[in-house]
C-alpha cells in the first residue's frame, strides 16, 4: 500500500533576527517560553513581571533547523511541508528558497517542496515578523480605530493603538479582563514533511442525514487526491459492516460520496443521558485487490438541533439531542494557558474530567481564544460534553477588506473541516458579544462604541460586520458542516434587522449574557429576576486559594491593593467589587488569607443563586453556562478552577447545583419558602421529601415527610411553606431548614435553606471530628460537628478533589467524603487515594468574632 510518509523535525534553534547568537528552541512552542527556558526572561506569571517582557512582541524572530530526508520519503511523487499552526506573520524558507508566507495563526499552511529538498544538508528557516509592527501601519491606513475593549495596548507600551483586530491571532494574547498581555510568535502546532505517491485520502466527513434509534442514514464524503486517472473502489467500514462505491478518479482533488445505512445504531449521548458511543470509520481506496490509500476517523452518531420555536413567552432556545430536550449545564471555557503549547494532555484531561465530575454536560469554547486542540474535542466526545463552539472573534469590531475576509474564509473552512466529525460540537457561533456591544439598531444602545464614529463610518463598520457574521461564516458552516446550527453572535435575540435583534437581560428569546450582578453591582437576588431562555454567560469573581496566590506573590504582597494583587486582577475594579459584595453578604474576614477563602464562598453562593434560579425555570430556561471554567494564568477571576487545576468553592457548589436531580429552595418571597424538584433524567422521580427545622445545636424542632413524584426531564414546585408557621417565633439567625429527598430509603439529594442572610447567621467555633474509614472503593473521611459548621473546607497538600467540599455540617448529621487524587480522577493506574495530612476549617475560623 502507498501510505502517506511523514517526518517531523528536531534540533531547532532560535534568535531575534537582529542578534547573532542561536539558542535551543522547543517546537511546538513560542518565543516567550523558549526565552524563559533559556533564562533570558523572568517568570512571566510571577509578581509584576508581565510588564517587564513587553519588548518581545516588537522584535522579529527566527527559527531554524537542519534536516535530512530518508530515501523512502524523498522518492515520493509529492513532498509537502505542512504547518498545522504558525503564529502569526511568518516567511518560510527551505534551503534559502522562499516557499510560503503565513498571516493567520488559525490556518494550516502547506508548501510543495519536492523540487527544493535533498537527501541531506537541508535548512528550514522561519522568520516571524513582529505582529505589532506588522499591524500598526494598517491602523494608520484605516484612519480611525476600531473598538477592541480588551486589547491592553497601554500595557504593551502602545498607548491607545489597539491593533489586535487586524491579526488573525488569538485575541486574548493582547490581554483580557482576566488575562495578561503576551503577544506571542512561534511554531505553535506540529510541522512535518509529508510525502505521497499516486493517491491519498485528504479528508473524510461522516455526514449525518437522518438519525433515529431505528436507523441512521449517513454519507461518507471522502476527499481524494490523485496524480493520474484511476478506476477504484472507495470502501468505508466500521467493525461491523462496510459500504462501497465504484469510482473513476481524475487527476487532482475530488470528493466521493458513499451512502451509509446503519440499523439500530448505538447513539452518542451527552453526560447524564446515556453512553457517548463512538464509531470508527475506516476508509480505503482500493485498486484491484490492493488498498492504495486509507484514512480512519471517529464520530458519534446522533441527531442534534437548536430548537427556536415560537411560544407564548417568545421563542424557545434549547438543544435537542436524539429527540430529547437537553437542559445545558456547564461553563465557558477559555484557553488553559497564555502559552498554548504548555497545556499537556493531562491538563486537558483534568479540565474535562472536572467538568464531567461536576455534573456538567456543556462547555462553550469562547471566541477570544483559539480553536482548541484535537485532544480537547476528543475528550469532550469521550465524556459526553456538548460543545458550543465560537469562531475566534470577541468584543471588537473587525475590518472587512478583501484580504481580511479571504483570510477568515480559509480559517473557517480549515477549522470546520478539522472539527466537524466531533459529535460533541452542537453549535457554531459567529462571535462573542459583538452584536449587543455595537447595538446597531439602537442609537444609545450597546457599549457606547458608536458615538466615536460618524454616520458613514458606522454603516461601513456594520456592513463589514455583516459580511463576516451574517454572510461568510454561516455559508461555511452550511457547506462544510451541514446538520449543525449556526448562531451569529452571543448574546442575540434573532436576526430581525431592527432594534429587537439585540439581547438585553429581560429578553424572552435567544440567549442572554447577564452581568448586572458584578459589573453593575446589582444584588445576588436579581439572578432570580433576569432569567432568559438560555443563560450563556454570567459570573462572579474570587481569588485563588492561599497556596495558589503564593505562587505569584510574597507575604508582603498579600493586601488587596498591593501592586502585585492589582497586577493579577485584570478587571479594573475587581478587587474593590469583591470587597463591596463581601461587605453586603458576608461576615468580616479576620485577615487576608481569610479574605481569599471568603471570596471563594461569596463567588460560590452567587453562582448557586444563579444556577438554581435558572434550573427552577425549566423548561422556560433551558441552559446555564457560567463564566468561567478555567484560568490561563494565576489570577483573581471568575473561574471555578484556578490555573493550577485546584477546585475553588464554586466548583463544588456547581457539582451540587448541577446534580441531575436537584432539590432547590426559593426563599425570595415574603414569609413563603417554595421548594422545587428538578430532574434532567429520562426516568420519573419518586420518593419522600423529608423537611426538618433544625437549630444550630442540632435540635430538631419540626419534621414533615411528603410523597413526591416528578415526570422525567422536568421540574416543578412541590411544597410551599410559611416561614412564620415553621419558625414559631424562633430566631431565624440560629435555625435552618434541611430537606432530604429519599429514594429507595437513601437520602441521596439534600439541600439546606437559611431564613437569615449569611452575614446575620450566628456562627460559633465548631469542633469538627474527622474519622478515617476504609471501604471497597478506597478511604473515606467521616466528618461530624458539635455545632453548625458552615462551608467546611477540607484542604490537603495532595493534588486532587474531594467528593464534596465547602458544605454545611449539621450536628447529628455526619458527612462522608472521599478523596480522589488528580491521577486517580483521570483513571490512572496505581494512584494513591489517601489525602495525606488534611486540614479542616469552617467559616467561623475565618471571621472576626
Domains of the chain: 5-192 (2.60.120.260), 198-299 (2.60.40.10), 323-657 (3.20.20.80), 763-849 (2.60.40.10)
pLDDT band for position 530 (50/70/90)? very high
At residue 828, does pLDDT exceed 70? no
At residue 830, does pLDDT exceed 70? no
Do the beta carbons of residue 683 and residue 712 sit within 8 Å? yes
Task: State percent of the chain over pLDDT 70.
Answer: 98
CB-based burial of residue 755 (10 Å sphere; 0-12 exposed, 13-18 middle, 19+ buried)?
buried
pLDDT band for position 670 (50/70/90)? confident
Residue 760: DSSP 8-state: G
| pLDDT at site 745 | 67
Do the beta carbons of residue 196 and residue 76 sit within 8 Å? yes
Integer Rg of the chain from CA: 28
Cell numbers given for 114: 519536492
| pLDDT at site 831 | 45
Phi-psi region of 584 (alpha: psi -120 to 50; beta: other; left: phi over 0): alpha
At residue 682, does pLDDT exceed 90? yes
Higher-confidence residue: 738 or 572? 738
Question: For the chain, how far is it from start to end, CA to CA, in angstroms?
Answer: 78
> In the predicted model, what is the mean pLDDT of residues 419-435?
98
Lookup result for grid cell 464509531: 279
- Please state, in angstroms and rounded to a whole number, the distance separating the CA atoms of residues 514 and 535: 7
Determine which helix (DSSP H) or strand (DSSP E) holds 610, and give its type and residue range: helix 592-616
At residue 4, does pLDDT exceed 90? no
- Residue 729 C-beta-side C-alpha neighbours within 13 Å: 0
Do the beta carbons of residue 534 and residue 318 sit within 8 Å? yes
At residue 613, does pLDDT exceed 80? yes
What is the 3 state secondary structure string of 99-167? Answer: EEEECECCCCEEEECCCCCCCCCEEEEEEECCHHHHHHHHHHHHCCCCCECCCCCCCCCCCCCCCHHHC
Lookup result for grid cell 478518479: 249
pLDDT band for position 774 (50/70/90)? confident
| pLDDT at site 779 | 80
pLDDT band for position 389 (50/70/90)? very high
pLDDT band for position 2 (50/70/90)? low
> In the predicted model, what is the mean pLDDT of residues 661-674?
92
| pLDDT at site 833 | 56
> In the predicted model, what is the mean pLDDT of residues 609-628?
98
Cα 383–chain centre separation: 14
| pLDDT at site 834 | 66
| pLDDT at site 829 | 52
| pLDDT at site 57 | 98
pLDDT tens by residue, 202-211: 999 999 999 9
Higher-confidence residue: 288 or 655? 655
Mean pLDDT of the chain: 96
pLDDT band for position 467 (50/70/90)? very high
Q: What is the pTM of this model?
A: 0.97
- Residue 223 C-beta-side C-alpha neighbours within 13 Å: 11
Residue 340: DSSP 8-state: G
Cα 443–chain centre separation: 33
Neighbours of 781 (CB within 10 A): 19
Task: From 62, 68, 50, select the one nearest 10 (Cα to Cα).
Answer: 68
pLDDT band for position 832 (50/70/90)? very low
pLDDT band for position 1 (50/70/90)? very low
At residue 140, does pLDDT exceed 70? yes
| pLDDT at site 149 | 92
| pLDDT at site 778 | 77
Spell 641-662 as b/e; 16+ CB within 10 A means b: bbbebbbbbbbbbbbbbbbbbb
The beta strand positions in 366-418, using DSSP E, are 386-390
Do the beta carbons of residue 546 and residue 593 sit within 8 Å? yes
At residue 524, does pLDDT exceed 60? yes
CB-based burial of residue 158 (10 Å sphere; 0-12 exposed, 13-18 middle, 19+ buried)?
buried
pLDDT band for position 746 (50/70/90)? low
At residue 286, does pLDDT exceed 80? yes
At residue 520, does pLDDT exceed 90? yes
pLDDT tens by residue, 574-605: 999 999 999 999 999 999 999 999 999 999 99
Residues 6+ apart with CB under 8 A from 259: 217, 218, 219, 243, 245
At residue 748, does pLDDT exceed 90? no
> Phi and psi dihedrals of 32, rounded to 5?
-60, -50
| pLDDT at site 666 | 95
Phi-psi region of 251 (alpha: psi -120 to 50; beta: other; left: phi over 0): beta
- Please state, in angstroms and rounded to a whole number, the distance separating the CA atoms of residues 801 and 794: 10
Do the beta carbons of residue 549 and residue 596 sit within 8 Å? yes
Amino acid at each position: 500500500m502507498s501510505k502517506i510518509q511523514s517526518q517531523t523535525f528536531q534540533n531547532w534553534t532560535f534568535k531575534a533576527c537582529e542578534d547573532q547568537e542561536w539558542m535551543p528552541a522547543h517546537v511546538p512552542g513560542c518565543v516567550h517560553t523558549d526565552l524563559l527556558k533559556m533564562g533570558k526572561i523572568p517568570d512571566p506569571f510571577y509578581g509584576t513581571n508581565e510588564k517587564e517582557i513587553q519588548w518581545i512582541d516588537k522584535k522579529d524572530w527566527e527559527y531554524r533547523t537542519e534536516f535530512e530526508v530518508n530515501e523512502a520519503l524523498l522518492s515520493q511523487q509529492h513532498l509537502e511541508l505542512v504547518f498545522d499552526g504558525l503564529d502569526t506573520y511568518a516567511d518560510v524558507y527551505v534551503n534559502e528558497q522562499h516557499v510560503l508566507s503565513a498571516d493567520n495563526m488559525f490556518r494550516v499552511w502547506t508548501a510543495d517542496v519536492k523540487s527544493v529538498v535533498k537527501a541531506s544538508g537541508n535548512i528550514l528557516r522561519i522568520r516571524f515578523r513582529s505582529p505589532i509592527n506588522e499591524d500598526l501601519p494598517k491602523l494608520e491606513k484605516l484612519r480611525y480605530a476600531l473598538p477592541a475593549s480588551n486589547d491592553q495596548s497601554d500595557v504593551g507600551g502602545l498607548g491607545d493603538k489597539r491593533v489586535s483586530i487586524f491579526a488573525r491571532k488569538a485575541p486574548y494574547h493582547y490581554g483580557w479582563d482576566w488575562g495578561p498581555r503576551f503577544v506571542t510568535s512561534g511554531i505553535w502546532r506540529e510541522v512535518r514533511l509529508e510525502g505521497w505517491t499516486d493517491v491519498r485520502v485528504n479528508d473524510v466527513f461522516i455526514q449525518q442525514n437522518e438519525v433515529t434509534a431505528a436507523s441512521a442514514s449517513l454519507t461518507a464524503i471522502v476527499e481524494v487526491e490523485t496524480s493520474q486517472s484511476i478506476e477504484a473502489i472507495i470502501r468505508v467500514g466500521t467493525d461491523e459492516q462496510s459500504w462501497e462505491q465504484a469510482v473513476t478518479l481524475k487527476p487532482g482533488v475530488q470528493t466521493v460520496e458513499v451512502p451509509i445505512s446503519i440499523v439500530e445504531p448505538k447513539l452518542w449521548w451527552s453526560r447524564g443521558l446515556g453512553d457517548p458511543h463512538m464509531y470508527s470509520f475506516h476508509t480505503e481506496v482500493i485498486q484491484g485487490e490492493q488498498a492504495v490509500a486509507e484514512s480512519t476517523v471517529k464520530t458519534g452518531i446522533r441527531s442534534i438541533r437548536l430548537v427556536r420555536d415560537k411560544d407564548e413567552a417568545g421563542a424557545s432556545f434549547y438543544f435537542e439531542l436524539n429527540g430529547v430536550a437537553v437542559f445545558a449545564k456547564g461553563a465557558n471555557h477559555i484557553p488553559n494557558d497564555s502559552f498554548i503549547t504548555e497545556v499537556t494532555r493531562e491538563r486537558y484531561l483534568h479540565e474535562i474530567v472536572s467538568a464531567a465530575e461536576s455534573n456538567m454536560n456543556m462547555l462553550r469554547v469562547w471566541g477570544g481564544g483559539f480553536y482548541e486542540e484535537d485532544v480537547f474535542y476528543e475528550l469532550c466526545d469521550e465524556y459526553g460534553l456538548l460543545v458550543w463552539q465560537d469562531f475566534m472573534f470577541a468584543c471588537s469590531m473587525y475590518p472587512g477588506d478583501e484580504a481580511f475576509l479571504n483570510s477568515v474564509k480559509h480559517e473557517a473552512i480549515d477549522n470546520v473541516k478539522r472539527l466537524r466529525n466531533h459529535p460533541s460540537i452542537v453549535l457554531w457561533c459567529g462571535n462573542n458579544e459583538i452584536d449587543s456591544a455595537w447595538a446597531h439598531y439602537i442609537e444609545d444602545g450597546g457599549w457606547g462604541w458608536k458615538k466615536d464614529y460618524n454616520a458613514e463610518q458606522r454603516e461601513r463598520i456594520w456592513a463589514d460586520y455583516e459580511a463576516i457574521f451574517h454572510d461568510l461564516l454561516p455559508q461555511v458552516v452550511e457547506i462544510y458542516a451541514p446538520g449543525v446550527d449556526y448562531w451569529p453572535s452571543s448574546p442575540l435575540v434573532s436576526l430581525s434587522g431592527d432594534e429587537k435583534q439585540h439581547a438585553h437581560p429581560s429578553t424572552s428569546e435567544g440567549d442572554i449574557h447577564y452581568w448586572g450582578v458584578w459589573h453593575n453591582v446589582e444584588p445576588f437576588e436579581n439572578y432570580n429576576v433576569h432569567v432568559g431562555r438560555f443563560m450563556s454567560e454570567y459570573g462572579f469573581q474570587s481569588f485563588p486559594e492561599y497556596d495558589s496566590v503564593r505562587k505569584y506573590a510574597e507575604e508582603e504582597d498579600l493586601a488587596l491593593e498591593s501592586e502585585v494583587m492589582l497586577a493579577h486582577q485584570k478587571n479594573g475594579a475587581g478587587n474593590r467589587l469583591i470587597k463591596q459584595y463581601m461587605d453586603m453578604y458576608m461576615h468580616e474576614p479576620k485577615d487576608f488569607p481569610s479574605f481569599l477563602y471568603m471570596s471563594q464562598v461569596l463567588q460560590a453562593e452567587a453562582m448557586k443563586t444563579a444556577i438554581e434560579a435558572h434550573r427552577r425555570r425549566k423548561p422556560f430556561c433551558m441552559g446555564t453556562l457560567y463564566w468561567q471554567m478555567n484560568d490561563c494564568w494565576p489570577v483573581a477571576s471568575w473561574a471555578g478552577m484556578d490555573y493550577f487545576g485546584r477546585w475553588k468553592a464554586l466548583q463544588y457548589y456547581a457539582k451540587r447545583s448541577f446534580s441531575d436531580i436537584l432539590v432547590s429552595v426559593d426563599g425570595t418571597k415574603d414569609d413563603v419558602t417554595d421548594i422545587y424538584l428538578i430532574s434532567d433524567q429520562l426516568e420519573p422521580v419518586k420518593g419522600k421529601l423529608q423537611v426538618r427545622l433544625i437549630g444550630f445545636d442540632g435540635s430538631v424542632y419540626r419534621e414533615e415527610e411528603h410523597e413526591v413524584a416528578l415526570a422525567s426531564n422536568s421540574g416543578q414546585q412541590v411544597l410551599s411553606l410559611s416561614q412564620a408557621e415553621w419558625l414559631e417565633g424562633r430566631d431565624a439567625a440560629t435555625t435552618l431548614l434541611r430537606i432530604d429527598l429519599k429514594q429507595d430509603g437513601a437520602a441521596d439529594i439534600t439541600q439546606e435553606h437559611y431564613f437569615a442572610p449569611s452575614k446575620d447567621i450566628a456562627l460559633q467555633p465548631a469542633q469538627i471530628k474527622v474519622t478515617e474509614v476504609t471501604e471497597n472503593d478506597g478511604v473515606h473521611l467521616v466528618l461530624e460537628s458539635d455545632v453548625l459548621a458552615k462551608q467546611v473546607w477540607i484542604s490537603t497538600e495532595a493534588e486532587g478533589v474531594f467528593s464534596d467540599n465547602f458544605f454545611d455540617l449539621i450536628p447529628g448529621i455526619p458527612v462522608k467524603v472521599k478523596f480522589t487524587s488528580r491521577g486517580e480522577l483521570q483513571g490512572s493506574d496505581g494512584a494513591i487515594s489517601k489525602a495525606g495530612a488534611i486540614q479542616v476549617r469552617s467559616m467561623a475560623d475565618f471571621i472576626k468574632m
